[in-house]
Structure 1
Amino acid sequence: MFEFFTDRGRHAVVLSQDEAVALGHDFIGTEHILLGLVGTDRSTAGDVLREQGIDLERARAETVRVQQAAGVVATDGQAEKDALSSIGIDVEEIKRRAEQNFGEGSFHFPRPAYTGRAKRVLEQTLAEARELGHERFGTEHMLLGLLTVREGRGAEVLAALGTEPDRLREAVLARVAADAS
């Protein structure tokens, strides 16, 4: 599926994974997808979100607040590391060697998995692109997918930042129409 994403769309996906890792989460939720979209420069979704007053720093701070309120704890994959340690595998040693050979930040374990809602957002991304007659999926389709699902912490973060989903959707569609003309 990711081969159908535009370069900016793929970059937003990678940023969402990076945000999850940076926050110490062993999952990628709708909130991480939102952070990936906000963090993508020169992209339709990133530009529209910033025009709506949503910057990465505020979105990240609100994400942390929403997660803490929901009881989400940053585990940094400790359960998985403990399981491997119990059979004699030292994840920290593997990380040290990987970074020694391939560079700082080259090894992340565990690689976060997408939550069910995040998968629904990505599935809706496809539907949004098709609805607009587009063959490739960009950040605009991802944001429209996030707005269509309307569930999860990404939606909570947008609401807490004072964003109205319908108004944001209209802004994205207006930008897509302007870019097409």
Structure 2
Amino acid sequence: MFEKFTDRARRIIVLSQDEARTLNHDSIGTEHLLLGLIREDEGVGAQVLKNLGLTLEDVRRQVEESRSRGESAPSGYLPFTSSANEVLQAANQESVQRGLDHIGTEHLLLGLIRDRASVAVQVLVKLGADPDQVGRTMDELLQQYLAR
């Protein structure tokens, strides 16, 4: 599936791993994908999060409050949690439903908000972002891009 990822979407995966390591977490969860999305800074997913008034610093602080830091830095490969794997599958489904052959940052964000019980969605809600509004903002932004 990663072969379908755009360069920006691949970068989000790398940034997510970096965020997990920074927090001394031994796996990549939905919260790390959220951090990777907003940290990537240029993709549609990041633009939606910024349009909702979210910042990397606020998201990172809320992730730390929700999950706290691990005790020691992990080494080697960091696996995805089952929830993060579900996000990646949902991102692929979002792409396929739109008739596309690639997975972009927008699909990752849409996949991320599907599981309302995930750490990432809980972080969004605590920061005042309604998951339904995230989806609507995404659709509006995509329509603007398509109209150009």
Question: What amino acid sits opposite 2:137 in the alignment?
Answer: A
Residue-pair matches, total: 147
Moved over 2 A (4+): 72-77
Q: Secondary structure at the match of 2:117?
A: coil
Counterpart check, 1:160 vs 2:126: yes
Shift of residue 150, structure 1, vs aligned partner: 2.0
Deviation string 1:2-61 (CA, Å, 9 cap, x unpaired) is: 111111111111110110011111100000000000001211010110110111011000
Deviation string 1:123-172 (CA, Å, 9 cap, x unpaired) is: 00000111122111001000000111222211111011011000110001
Question: What amino acid sits opposite 2:98 in the alignment?
Answer: L
Q: Secondary structure at the match of 2:102?
A: coil
Counterpart check, 1:73 vs 2:76: no
Specify the alignment match of 2:10 in structure 1.
10
Q: Which ranges of structure 1 fall in alignment gaps of 5 or more residues?
A: 78-108
Question: What amino acid sits opposite 2:131 in the alignment?
Answer: P
Match of 1:126 among 92, 96, 104: 92
The correspondence of residues 11-160 of structure 1 with structure 2, limited to 5 A, is 11-68=11-68, 73-77=70-74, 109-160=75-126
Match of 1:173 among 136, 139, 143: 139
Identity %: 37
Question: What amino acid sits opposite 2:28 in the alignment?
Answer: I
Q: Which ranges of structure 2 fall in alignment gaps of 5 or more residues?
A: none
Question: What amino acid sits opposite 1:127 in the alignment?
Answer: Q
CA distance in 2, matches of 1:73, 1:41: 26
CA distance in 2, matches of 1:65, 1:51: 23
CA distance in 2, matches of 1:66, 1:170: 26
CA distance in 2, matches of 1:74, 1:117: 22
TM score, norm. by length of structure 2: 0.94
Question: Does the Cα contact within 8 Å between 1:26 and 1:110 map onto a contact in 2?
Answer: no
Query: Max radius of gyration: which structure?
Result: 1
Shift of residue 75, structure 1, vs aligned partner: 3.7
Question: What amino acid sits opposite 2:76 in the alignment?
Answer: P
Question: Does the Cα contact within 8 Å between 1:126 and 1:141 map onto a contact in 2?
Answer: yes
Question: Does the Cα contact within 8 Å between 2:12 and 2:37 map onto a contact in 1?
Answer: yes
Give the RMSD, CA atoms, in angstroms. 1.2
Question: Does the Cα contact within 8 Å between 2:23 and 2:70 map onto a contact in 1?
Answer: no
